[in-house]
Every structure is written in structure tokens, then in C-alpha cells.
Structure 1
Amino acid sequence: MKVTLFGTTGFIGENLTDKLDENYQISTVSLRNNNWKNELVKSKVFINLVGKAHDHNKTATEEDFYHVNVDLTKNIFNAFIKSEAKIFIHISSLAALEEYESLKPLTEEDSCNPNSWYGKSKRKAEKWLLEQRLPENKKLIILRPPMVHGPGDKGNLGLLYKLISRGIPYPLSSFENKRSFMSIDNFCFFIDEIIKNEGKLVSGIYHISDDELISTNQIIDIIKKVEKKNTPDLSLPKFFVKGLAKIGDIIPIPLNSLRLKKMTSDLTVSNQKIKSALGIEQLPLSAEEGLIKTIKSFKKEK
């Protein structure tokens, strides 16, 4: 079976390409090439990984996020409609639904509350896709993963690893939270299962994630275990940390209220809808096993 992937330069795209290449004929497309439509080959599946999530240089505008996450998605989907492909798998994000806090595991039926340019642009792309008329022989699968981690990940997990691996005490251990994550292995597993069993799915939105929830303190413990560090954590009083964060709302220091909420609040998601539809009982890796694998990959890169 032939599969076409769009946007494969990030760590998710690189890992997914390697995984799918074991069982499928893979074609990768870069939208940086103005003639990309002329390079499309016949395939059954289109997978859209194109997206802008980070602004490391602090230079991106709101228009930049909407151009990549919305306009380019429209271009790829329109090419899908004109092609012979039967399945369009669009990688959205949990940020299209919620970015900072949830009091219960979020389901596909919950109301959307995106806050950032990233989350809002991802949600706008979802809404546009769902409004399009699909031919009877074509299917649209929108996936919302939480934070995906794995070898090559340059996100917040890597920054946390650098902090703890250097023996710097974690200062927020007084906060206990639960969050949903996703290892790249489980991400690739879901994609493979969707391709093989797409007949079991109807078009729509599906949440994907690891089965188990993990706290930030558990992640710290895993990092220290892999690194063989005995650095004590700092359990600073919550009122002191929250006060410091409020100061950060006014003057530029590393901690502010929004960043504190993102690091210490609960944000969990239910993956039961897609697991039930595909008949999945257990994912390849537990949340802890996936994190250990990722942390070990960081260790090798040092």
C-alpha cells in the first residue's frame, strides 16, 4: 500500500516515516517546494503532519500560525479530494480543545477552549475540514494527540531533562498533577492501526494518547533514575511560588502564572473512543516505559 506524508522534517515526521517504511511504500512531500502538487504519486492514504507549534525565536506572527496550520491544510486537503487517495489523516492537537487544565479526562464531545495562536489555528483547521463535503469513497480522520515525545524531541521534556540531569533541584515538587502524554512509539502504532483498519472508523475527530496518566514529579523521578541522580527536590510553599509567578506577570522572569499553570495543572485526555473502534486493548508501551525510552535517548545525545 502506498502512503503519502506531508511535513516530515520534524521529529514526529522522521520517526513516523521510518516506522511506516517497514510495511508501506512511502512518499514524502515538502510544501516548501512550490511544485509539490506535481510530485504527488498515487497513494491510498494522505497523512498531514504539517504544522507550526513553536516560536523559539519569538518572531512568529499570528498570521504565520494560521498560514501553516490552516491555509496549508486546506491546500493539502483539496489535493486529497482531487486524488485517488481514500483516507486523509490530519494531525491536529489537544491544544485545539484545551491547552492548560482539565478537571476530567477530555473526550471528543467536550467544548473547545483553545487559548494560543497555535491552539486557535489548529481548531480553525479542524472546523474547516469538518465542514467540507466528502465523496462517499473518501474518509477524514482528525487526530488530537497531547504532547508527543521521543528520540529527537526538542520540546519542553528535553528542557526539563537538561535541568535535572545537571543536578539542579526541581523547585515545584509541592504541586501534584496528572497529565496525558504520548510516546512516539504509541503514536506510530495508532497511525498504523488506522491505516490497516480504517474500515472500522467513521470520519471525525479522535483522541490518541498513552493509556496511563503521569505527573511532573513522576517524570522527575524517571529522569533521576535514568541519570542515577540523587538530587533532592525543592518543595517550595505553593503560596510563595504563586506569588513569584504573579511577579513574573509584570516583569520578565522565567516563571509567570500561565507557565506555572501549564507545568502544575491537570490536563488529561481519554483515548477510549478510538481504542474501542479499532479493538485495541493495550498499547505497545506504557506511559512510563515510553518516558524511560525518551529520557535514555536524551542521555545518548549528551
Structure 2
Amino acid sequence: MKVLVLGGNSGFIGSHLSKSLVSSFESKFVSMRNLDWMGDDFSPNCIINLVGKAHDFTGLAKEEDFYYANFELAKKAFQIFLSSSATLFIHISSLAAIEEIEALNPLSEFATSNSVTPYGKSKRAAEEWLLAQTLPSGKKLIILRPPMVHGEGDKGNLNQLFKLVNKGIPYPLTKFKNKRSFLSIENFCFFIEQILFKKDNIETGIYHLADDETLSSNEIVKVIKEETGFNTPCLPLPKSLVRWISKVGDRTSLPLNTWRLKKLTSNLVVSNKKIKIALSIHRLPLTAKEGLRETIRSFQK
């Protein structure tokens, strides 16, 4: 099988996926910034769209930046799929397309959208556009919604929490009890491989990806301390005080604001039942805690 990956292999997910696919598939990673490759004789069976914009630690990105990367380029990628020999289009969306803050019950693929940021809204807009398109006979569309994906090279919220703990700053959120779904990059690549191997068994539609188990913020901090050996103290501040501090952070440069507090302490659980049934997956290569430990070890390199 030949696999064309749009988005290149220099990014976090692309770099891992390129290593994962090389042993079983003939793959080609290309950038949407340079379409010269379209004249090549590479005829893919599957196209994976990794193009998108997620993290903005500078605070300079505008709403139109997210919509261009996550919506307009998704449409362009789909047009490439239609004009190609590929029979399968895998679009990497995000759980943020339907929920970015909190879900008390495990989210299924049928959950109502509750996106609030340009990132989440642009991801949802792309999903809706793709699902509204007419697929030619013999072609399939798979939309994947992972929660936060972590692993070596990740620069997201988990990496920020790791840096906070490593600086010896007392962790003040121990009073908050939560459950959140994550996805290790190893398990992400495993899902992609299984879709490619069993593409005849999976139908067009949206599928949630996630590790089988959830993790709490307190568990994550504990693992970071175990893996690093740093005895960073915990500071069990009252919830009311922490919430007040986060509101101050909304108006100042404090590292904790109400948005970040919600991301660290709320429940956000994802059901991966649909895709596991479709692909006859009984267990993933890594448990949630094993994947977390692999990621923390990579941060120390």
C-alpha cells in the first residue's frame, strides 16, 4: 500500500508517523506549501491529512490563521484526494471540534459541538464541510478526533506542566480531582496502522481516538516526580483561593488563568469504543500511564 501524508514529517505527529509507516507501507510525506510533487508518479492508495494549526504560545495568531490552516487547507487536501487514485482519505481533526473544556460523561462521536476557541471551531467547520461532500463510488472518508496527543517532541500543555514541576514550583491544584483522556503518540500511530491494514472493515465517518484509561492531573504530577526524581512540593490550596488567583491571572501575566485552570482540573473523557469495535482492537500497545512515562522520559533527553 502507498500512503501520501499531507503536512510533512517535520512536525510532532508527522515525525513519529513517518517512522511508524516505513516498515509496512511505502509512504511519501509532502508539504502543502509546495505542490511540485503533484507531478510525480506516486499513486497513493490512501491520503492522510495532518495539515493544521493547534498551539499558539505567542498569542499572536488570529482567527483567520486557524481557519486557513484547519478549514481552507482541509478543503484543498480533500480536492487532492478526489483527483487522486486514493480510495481512503484520513483527516486528522481534534476532540476540540466538539469539546475543549469539560465533559462529565465519556464523549461519543454523536456528542453536540461545544467548541469555544477559533481552533476548535475551525476544526469543526472542516468536519462539517467534509461530511457534506459527495464521495465517488469506492472512496471512503475517515475523520479522527484525538484528545491531547503526547510524546517525544511534544510542546503542548503536558510539556508546560513538566517544566513547571521541574522548576520546583509547588503544585497548587491537589484539591482538584479529575479524569481526562489522553493519547500517546505510540497508540496514535497504532490506530493509523490498523486503519490502513483493515481499511475494508471501517466505514466512512467520525471516530474518536484515546488511550483506554484516563489520567488525573495529580497522577500526571506524581509520574513526573517519579521519573525525574525531583521532590517538588505540593501545595494543597483551597479551591476557592485557586479560582480567585486564576481570575487575577486573566488580567495579569500569572501562569495560571481561568482557561488554563479548567484545562488542568476539569473532567474530559473520551470513548474509543466505536473504532476499537470497527477494527477488532482488544488492547492498545501502551496503557495511559505507560505512554505518559515514555513521554516524560523523552522530555529529559
Q: With structure 2 as the length reference, what TM-score do the two structures score?
A: 0.97
Q: Distance in 2 between matches of 1:161 and 1:48?
A: 29
Q: Report the alpha carbon displacement of residue 230 of structure 1 after superposing the two structures with TM.
A: 2.4
* Residue 38 of structure 1: how far off its partner (Å): 3.0
Deviation at 1:231, TM superposition (A): 2.4
Partner of 1:184: 185
Larger deviation: 4-13 or 83-92? Answer: 4-13
In the alignment, residue 260 of structure 1 is paired with which amino acid? Answer: L
Instruction: Tell me which moved more, 224-233 or 16-25.
Output: 224-233
Q: Which whole-Å CA distance do the structure 1 matches of 2:144 and 2:19 have between them? A: 20
| CA distance 1:39–1:174, change in 2 (3 Å) | farther
User: Which residue of the partner structure matches residue 289 of structure 1?
Assistant: 290
2:216 maps to 1:215 = yes
**CA positional deviation for 1:255:** 2.0
Cα distance in 1, alignment partners of residues 32 and 247 from structure 2:
42
Residues 243 and 144 of structure 1: CA distance in aligned 2, closer, same or farther (over 3 Å)? same
Aligned residue number for residue 2 of structure 1: 2
Q: CA deviation at 1:253?
A: 2.6
Partner of 2:166 in structure 1?
165
User: C-alpha offsets along residues 214-241 of structure 1, whole Å, 9 cap, x if unaligned?
Assistant: 0010000001101112222110010111
Partner SS state of residue 103, structure 1: strand
Check conservation: 2:187, 2:211, Cα contact below 8 A. yes
Q: 1:116-131, aligned counterparts within 5 Å?
A: 116-131=117-132
CA contact (8 A) 1:29 1:40 kept: no
Specify the code of the residue in structure 2 equivalent to 1:118: Y
1:126 shift after superposition: 0.2
Q: AA paired with 1:3?
A: V
Moved over 4 A (4+): none
Identity %: 55
**115-124 or 36-45, which deviates more:** 36-45
Give the residue type in structure 2 aligned to 1:236.
L
Distance 1:40 1:161 in 2: 45
After superposition, where does 1:1-302 map in structure 2 within 5 Å? 1-7=1-7, 8-39=9-40, 41-300=42-301
Q: Distance in 2 between matches of 1:241 and 1:167?
A: 18
Q: Distance in 2 between matches of 1:244 and 1:39?
A: 56
Amino acid at match of 1:64: D
For 1:207 and 1:129, the matched residues in 2 are separated by 16
- The answer to whether the 8 A contact 1:48-1:89 is kept is yes
Contact 1:30 1:36 in 2 (8 A): no
Q: Aligned pairs, how many?
A: 300
**Alignment CA distance shift 1:151-1:251 (3 Å):** closer
SS at match of 2:27: strand
Distance 1:59 1:242 in 2: 26
Q: Distance in 1 between matches of 2:211 and 2:40?
A: 35
CA positional deviation for 1:11: 0.8
Whether the aligned pair in 2 keeps the contact of 1:52 and 1:118 (CA below 8 Å) is: yes
Give the deviation of 1:167 after TM superposition. 2.5
For 1:161, the aligned partner's letter is F
- CA separation in 1, counterparts of 2:119 and 2:279? 29
Displacement of 1:36 after TM fit?
4.5
Q: Does the C-alpha gap of structure 1 residues 114 and 36 become closer, same or farther in structure 2, counting only changes over 3 Å?
A: farther
Cα distance in 2 for residues equivalent to 1:53 and 1:164: 24
- Higher normalized strand content (fraction of residues): 2
Q: Deviations over 1:22-63 (max 9, x none)?
A: 111111111111535334720101000000002222221111
**One-letter code of the match for 2:198?**
N
Q: Which amino acid aligns with 1:24?
A: F
Please provide the CA RMSD for this pair.
1.2
Which sits farther off after the overlay, 156-165 or 202-211?
A: 156-165
2:73 and 2:197 map into 1 onto residues whose CA distance is 27
In structure 2, distance between residues paired with 1:165 and 1:248: 21
Query: What is the SS of the residue equivalent to 2:4?
Result: strand
Give, as a single letter, the amino acid of the residue that structure 1 aligns with 2:208: H
**Kept after mapping to 1: 8 A contact 2:166/2:232:** no
CA distance in 2, matches of 1:38, 1:173: 56
Find the aligned partners of 1:210 and 1:259 in 2 and give their Cα distance.
22
Give distance in 2, aligned partners of 1:163 and 1:60.
24
The one-letter amino acid paired with 2:83 is K
What is the CA–CA distance in structure 2 between the aligned matches of 1:44 and 1:251, rounded to whole Å? 51
